[in-house]
Amino acid sequence: MKEVVIASKNSGKITEIAAALAHLPVKVVSLADFGEVAEAVEDGSTFAENALIKAKYYSNFTGKACLADDSGLEVDALNGAPGVYSARYAGENASDSENNKKLLENLKDEDCRTARFRCSLVFYDINGEVLSTDGVCEGVLLNEPRGNGGFGYDPLFLIPNLDKTLAEISINEKNAISHRGAALRSMAEKMAVYLK
């Protein structure tokens, strides 16, 4: 069984990833299991660049294969912002509620509410092997949060054909339609071939 470090301490994200990889011969390990770890410098201009930076960095640090994602929200009315700055939209170490508040403030005069979550996922093994996948989830941003599940911008992100936000659906429903779910399904297929 191959240990794969997930380049995150976000328990919600780790749970999603572990569920998607449960059928593979891997043991998912959280970055939190390695104590204090200096964060990778995410200075890429795209989600894919940042995911690769993180995967290499944490693989080198832990000496294990690493799976890293970089994902975020692209809002049409904001020319694709917050994009790669989604997690720190309201500043370094901003909370989800602070980021959501800033987003709503910046959208208050906008009629166009279309947006998408985009995820780039990179698996980096200690032998230098790299696997990468992407996923997208289209939706509409609400004026106020709905739901208690999920994390990040999930309470504002409405899936029109469900009439529910990502924070109002189960983790299994979310994995079936989300940007990370799509990237994870593709990654699981690639990893299954690679790990044979």
Predicted local distance difference test score (pLDDT) of residue 171: 81
Predicted local distance difference test score (pLDDT) of residue 114: 97
CA separation for the pair 178, 71 (Å, rounded)? 11
Domain that holds residue 151: 2-194
Predicted local distance difference test score (pLDDT) of residue 150: 82
The total of structural domains in the chain comes to 1
Predicted local distance difference test score (pLDDT) of residue 151: 86
Dihedral angle computed from the Cα positions of residues 178, 52, 73 and 184, in that order, rounded to the nearest 10 degrees = 0
CATH of residue 109's domain is 3.90.950.10
Find how far residue 102's CA is from the centre of its chain: 20
Q: Mind telling me the catalytic residues? A: 70
- DSSP letters for 148-176: SSS-TTGGGEEETTTTEETTSS-HHHHHH
Q: What are the residue ranges in the chain where pLDDT is below 70?
A: none
CA separation for the pair 180, 158 (Å, rounded)? 16
Q: What is the pLDDT of residues 120-176, one digit of tens each?
A: 999 999 999 999 999 999 999 999 999 998 889 999 999 999 999 999 999 888 888
Q: How high is the mean pLDDT of the chain?
A: 93
Predicted local distance difference test score (pLDDT) of residue 118: 96
